[in-house]
Amino acid sequence: MFDTLQDRLQSAFKNLRGKGRLSEADIDAVAREIRVALLDADVAVPVVREFIANVKERASGAEVSQALNPAQQVIKIVNDELVTILGGETRRIRYAKNPPTVIMLAGLQGAGKTTLAGKLSLWLKEQGKSPMLVACDLQRPNAVTQLQVVGEQAGVTVFAPEPGNGVGDPVQVATAGLAEARRTLHDVVIVDTAGRLGIDAELMQQAADIRAAVDPDEVLFVIDAMIGQDAVVTAQAFLEGVDFTGVVLTKLDGDARGGAALSVRSITGRPIMFASTGEKLTDFETFHPDRMAGRILDMGDMLTLIEQAEKAFDADQAAKDAERLMGGSFTMEDLLKQLEGIAKLGSMSKVMGMIPGMGQYKEQINNFDERQFDKIKAIIKSMTPAERDNPKIIDGSRRLRISKGSGTEVKDVNSLVEQFFGMQKMMQQMAKGGGIPGMPGIPGMPGAGKRAGAKQKPQQKKKGKRVSGNPAKRAAQETAAPKNEGANAFGFPTQGGQDFELPKELKDLL
């Protein structure tokens, strides 16, 4: 969602790099580009004005003029101001002292309230809570049925005494749901309310009546992050009519401009608490302003990536696997485990987007075909245990059988086996401490494959070629010497003006 904004901001900062001092003209120029980038991203005009004024004020002071690297200091200022307009600090749910905690969802139709109710209930369940969903959207066709399906997927209780489709009183259902939660000892109640295609008095009155009836601890305003400038108008209307305590952004995985995320907090003064980043129930996360600012500025979000990895991987099993790999043992079964673990983290574009500096490879990441992982997993699962443990026994007839079993072609099996042998060779080389094959200058893992306390032979200096004292012969030697033996942009050595060529298996792995 923030791809365009990210590109525009990176372009603005590019002109600052390499400058020892920043003039007032430099600061004005970068402020102008940031202003255009924010307005192009559909950020509300009042928010843009305040943001630019704060950046220019700080950039013109001693904070930048006395910095060793003024360009980096300006980027830090922009990052700090982004964190401020996104909320500053992470806002957590305030649970009631006497359960159940009541959370009411409000918003327009199509914002994703019902799906979000299921995501929030699953998230609360993972936090050790016992949530219950209450179906108070009795207007939209099949809204009650949808909530029941989502609740079943999340494995939580759904209270739905009325069939919906225009039948029933939502205020009575909300009151009865709260009483049922107390009786069944559920400690969190999530009330899903009705929405409308637009803001009207009936919608606001119904939401206000439900709020008065259940006295919720949190009222979450669910807003579609793709609606742009209209997000501000909608948020202000709900703030006046319902007075929500927090905001939830949905559809953050969309390709719209994302100005709502940067506008709604500043305009309403209410914090953004959660973000929905996909269609699955697990595509839901706590909103961290500092991490989101890091993503926008292509600084990555390693903390979120680590948290997701901790959920996806078993720590003890991962430690055992790592120890085995460092011992030089690498099989098809290990490769299958790694691929399945990566799949649990989400799409490759989502994972790579959390790594710092990956914005420059955006096009390649977006063009990556996720189905390649499925094809590889299908091929490995079509192998016998013996073939997975020792792929060297996979001859022509076995490859034909595996290709038929996985619905692929023999060339696909051949390609996977060849790439696997390359990876296996690299793992064995790293385990011996000899570095990555074909990549000089990159050592192996510290201590890997070395016996503790073993003495290392001192490296002998290589004797250089003797330079002749005869000027004519010396000129001939210099002419014959290889040219441009430096390093390219990636740190690999260059010989004779040609870049160092990586081996095929390593290219495929990277």
pLDDT in tens, the chain (510 residues): 566 777 777 777 777 766 667 777 878 888 888 888 888 877 888 888 888 888 888 877 765 655 556 777 777 888 888 888 888 888 889 998 888 999 999 888 888 889 999 999 999 998 899 999 999 888 888 889 999 999 999 999 999 888 877 788 889 999 999 999 999 999 999 999 888 766 677 778 888 889 888 899 999 998 887 776 777 788 888 888 888 889 888 887 766 666 776 788 888 888 889 988 888 888 888 888 888 777 777 665 566 666 666 666 666 666 776 666 666 677 888 888 877 777 777 666 667 666 666 656 656 666 667 778 888 889 999 999 999 888 889 888 999 999 999 999 999 899 888 888 887 777 777 666 544 444 433 343 333 444 434 444 454 544 555 655 565 566 655 555 444 444 333 333 343 444 434 444 434 444
Q: Is 508 annotated in some ligand binding site? A: no
Q: Does residue 104 contact residue 137 with C-beta atoms inside 8 Å? A: no
Q: Does residue 242 contact residue 211 with C-beta atoms inside 8 Å? A: yes
What is the separation, in whole angstroms, between the first and last Cα of the chain?
Answer: 26
> Which pLDDT belongs to residue 302?
61
> Which pLDDT belongs to residue 264?
82
Q: Which residues of 255-288 are buried (b: 16+ CB within 10 A; e: fewer)?
A: ebbbbbbbbbbbbbebbbbbbbbeeebbbbbbbb
Q: Which residues belong to CATH 3.40.50.300 in the chain?
A: 101-287
> Which pLDDT belongs to residue 1?
57
Which of the listed CATH numbers 1.25.50.10, 1.25.40.10, 1.10.260.30, 3.40.50.2300 matches domain 329-347+370-430?
Answer: 1.10.260.30
**C-alpha to C-alpha distances, 452 to 414, 419, 434, nearest whole angstrom:** 40, 32, 16
Q: Is 286 annotated in some ligand binding site? A: no
Neighbours of 438 (CB within 10 A): 19
User: Treating both helix axes as pointing N-terminal to C-terminal, what angle do 396-406 and 371-381 enclose, rounded to 10 degrees?
Assistant: 130
> Which pLDDT belongs to residue 382?
92
**Cα 68 to Cα 502: distance, rounded to the nearest angstrom:** 37
**Cα 151 to Cα 321: distance, rounded to the nearest angstrom:** 36
> Which pLDDT belongs to residue 493?
38
> Which pLDDT belongs to residue 125?
92
**Cα 494 to Cα 482: distance, rounded to the nearest angstrom:** 10
Contacting residues for 18 by C-beta, under 8 A, at least 6 apart: 71
Q: Is 324 annotated in some ligand binding site? A: no
> Which pLDDT belongs to residue 123?
92
> At 462, which amino acid appears?
K
Q: Is 108 annotated in some ligand binding site? A: yes
> Which pLDDT belongs to residue 326?
65
Rg of the chain (C-alpha set): 29
Contacting residues for 98 by C-beta, under 8 A, at least 6 apart: none
Q: Is 90 annotated in some ligand binding site? A: no
Contacting residues for 211 by C-beta, under 8 A, at least 6 apart: 104, 219, 242, 243
For domain 1-89+288-327, give the fold: Four Helix Bundle (Hemerythrin (Met), subunit A) (1.20.120)
Verify cis geometry, omega within 30 degrees of 0, for the bond prior to 163.
no
Overall pTM surpassing 0.85 (yes/no):
no
Q: Is 236 annotated in some ligand binding site? A: no
For domain 101-287, give the fold: Rossmann fold (3.40.50)
Q: Does residue 503 contact residue 422 with C-beta atoms inside 8 Å? A: yes
Q: Is 252 annotated in some ligand binding site? A: yes
Residue bearing tokens 């973000």? 275
**Cα 128 to Cα 406: distance, rounded to the nearest angstrom:** 40
> Which pLDDT belongs to residue 67?
55
Q: Does residue 86 contact residue 262 with C-beta atoms inside 8 Å? A: yes
Q: Is 113 annotated in some ligand binding site? A: yes
Q: Which residues of 191-224 are buried (b: 16+ CB within 10 A; e: fewer)?
A: bbbbbbeeeeeebbebbeebbebbebbbbbbbbb
Any idea of the CA torsion for 259, 262, 264, 266, to the nearest 10 degrees?
-140
Q: Is 316 annotated in some ligand binding site? A: no
> Which pLDDT belongs to residue 467?
55
Task: Tell me the three state secondary structure of residue 370.
Answer: coil
C-alpha atoms less than 13 angstroms from C-alpha of 50 in its C-beta half-sphere = 13
Q: Is 192 annotated in some ligand binding site? A: yes
Task: Tell me the three state secondary structure of residue 28.
Answer: helix
> Which pLDDT belongs to residue 510?
43
Please report which residue ranges of 170-329 form alpha helices under DSSP H: 170-183, 201-214, 230-241, 259-268, 289-296, 302-312, 315-326
Q: Which residues belong to CATH 1.10.260.30 in the chain?
A: 329-347+370-430
Q: Which of 232, 272, 233 is nearest to 252 (CA)?
A: 272
